[in-house]
Amino acid sequence: MSLPLSLTSAFSLRVSLMKRKPLRQTLMDHGLLDDFLTKHPPSLPAKYLLTTDATEPLRNYMDLEYMGTISIGTPAQEFTVLFDTGSANLWVPSVYCSSDACADHRHYNPALSSTYCNATGSISTLYGTGSMMGYLAYDTVQVGGIQVSNQIFGISKTEHGSFFSYAPFDGFLGLAFPSISSSRATPVFDNMMSQGLVSQDLFSIYLTPDGKNGSFVMFGGIDDTYFTGNLSWIPLTAETYWQIKVDSITMYGHPIACPYGCQSIVDSGTSLVAGPAAGINNIQYKIGAVQASNSLYMVNCSFISRLPDIIFIINGIQFPLPPQAYIRQSGSCMSSFEVFDLHVADNELWILGDIFLRRYYSVFDRANNMVGLAPTA
């Protein structure tokens, strides 16, 4: 479905405004910032004018997870966290945690922070790979150079699941909507917006392939040097996860899954593309993937060059995934599609994880409740 010209123009205007330099940077470039601040002392309106975007570098761990370093407390206690658009809570291990999963990770100690405040209540989060339970606290959180005051977050008491034991990160920083936040704890990005710390109510993500460096999440801005063409804007179907509608999933022009449309979430915290059994199993069949003894689906490596693109049609636009993206090659060749049953409001959800996001620069727009996608440069 193509947009009417008037809407297309409106979106183009909005994108051009998003890419414009923040006022602070423009004044700095021309040597005028000091004079401006002298004549216009910071006030509440000026605070919003002088905000900027901030980039948090992400480390690519084997093309499986993307994580960055944040700090909590005064003085700062550093943690490595997974930046996850599929959840909404910030949490890290604490000195109160005795689970095996906490043993090899950093621990937050409230006694060492002068800005710590106790919060009434507990937190419990469940992921596809494990769960945690703990307490709530308030403290200063720094992310990508942005300092967020009085941020509520979880400190774990117990962590269950072998995934957490072996995870190369300490905790999670959720970037989804407050409606799915455990204990209704305000997410970090919501506080960035309400405290006027970002110039635009959006963030964008770029993920590198092949274990390369250079991945990032940018708060408050879009960097158009990392994608080609224009962003395609897709309206959200729910303000919970970053949920959108997929029209169909095709190969050679014919539907192979989701033939009548399906709901999907754009999830930086999931490595693969996941979905209901019927659709995933048909994709495995179409690409010649065979289940091995370890339950993984393997493909003959010599066949990869003959495999076609799998195309996700979203909002009438084609988003192809080539076989180099959906087949993981590390000695053997493994399909990057997996069965995972996730239901929301009677809808079976697909999950567009990192194998999709590595191909498409993604913008998560809270002001307009849209996701923007463009092919990576």
**Model pLDDT for residues 45-93, shown as the tens digit of each residue:** 333 334 457 999 999 999 999 999 999 999 999 999 999 999 999 999 9
**Mean predicted lDDT score pLDDT of the chain:** 88
- Read off the pLDDT of each residue in 342-366 and give the average, rounded to a whole number: 91
Structure tokens at 265: 């979430």
pLDDT-derived band of residue 18, with 50, 70 and 90 as boundaries?
Answer: very low
What domains are there in the chain, each with its CATH number? 1-50 (no CATH), 54-219 (2.40.70.10), 224-375 (2.40.70.10)
pLDDT-derived band of residue 362, with 50, 70 and 90 as boundaries?
Answer: very high
pLDDT-derived band of residue 31, with 50, 70 and 90 as boundaries?
Answer: low
**Is the pTM of the predicted complex or chain greater than 0.75?**
yes
Residue 182 pLDDT > 70:
yes
Report which of residues 347 and 247 the model is more confident about.
Answer: 247
- Active-site residue among 53, 63, 84, 224? 84
Q: What is the pLDDT of residue 28?
A: 52
Q: Give whole-number Cα distances, 259 to 12, 64, 175, 249, 337, in Å.
A: 31, 29, 30, 7, 17
Q: What is the pLDDT of residue 2?
A: 32
Q: How many residues does the chain have?
A: 377
- Read off the pLDDT of each residue in 257-268 and give the average, rounded to a whole number: 96
Q: Cβ(262)–Cβ(351) under 8 Å?
A: no
Q: Cβ(151)–Cβ(89) under 8 Å?
A: no
Report which of residues 63 and 43 the model is more confident about.
Answer: 63
pLDDT-derived band of residue 14, with 50, 70 and 90 as boundaries?
Answer: very low
**Cα 60 to Cα 312: distance, rounded to the nearest angstrom:** 25
What percentage of the chain carries pLDDT values higher than 70? Answer: 86
Residue 184 pLDDT > 80:
yes
Burial degree of 370 (CB within 10 A; 0-12, 13-18, 19+):
buried
**Cα 273 to Cα 281: distance, rounded to the nearest angstrom:** 12
- Read off the pLDDT of each residue in 25-33 and give the average, rounded to a whole number: 53
Q: What is the pLDDT of residue 202?
A: 98
**Cα 118 to Cα 106: distance, rounded to the nearest angstrom:** 20
**Which among 5, 7, 20, 6 is positioned nearest to 233, based on CA atoms?**
7
Give per-residue pLDDT as tens, 119-173.
988 999 888 778 899 999 999 999 999 999 999 999 999 998 888 888 999 999 9
170 is catalytic: no
- Read off the pLDDT of each residue in 209-229 and give the average, rounded to a whole number: 97
Residue 268 pLDDT > 80:
yes
Give per-residue pLDDT as tens, 233-242.
999 999 999 9
What percentage of the chain carries pLDDT values higher than 90? Answer: 76
Q: What is the pLDDT of residue 33?
A: 52
Q: What is the pLDDT of residue 305?
A: 93
pLDDT-derived band of residue 38, with 50, 70 and 90 as boundaries?
Answer: low
Structure tokens at 221: 């801005």
pLDDT-derived band of residue 250, with 50, 70 and 90 as boundaries?
Answer: very high
Give per-residue pLDDT as tens, 127-142.
877 889 999 999 999 9
267 is catalytic: yes
Residue 193 pLDDT > 70:
yes
Burial degree of 5 (CB within 10 A; 0-12, 13-18, 19+):
exposed
- Active-site residue among 53, 224, 267, 354? 267
Q: What is the pLDDT of residue 105?
A: 95
Q: Cβ(136)–Cβ(183) under 8 Å?
A: yes
- Read off the pLDDT of each residue in 338-364 and give the average, rounded to a whole number: 91
- Read off the pLDDT of each residue in 188-211 and give the average, rounded to a whole number: 97
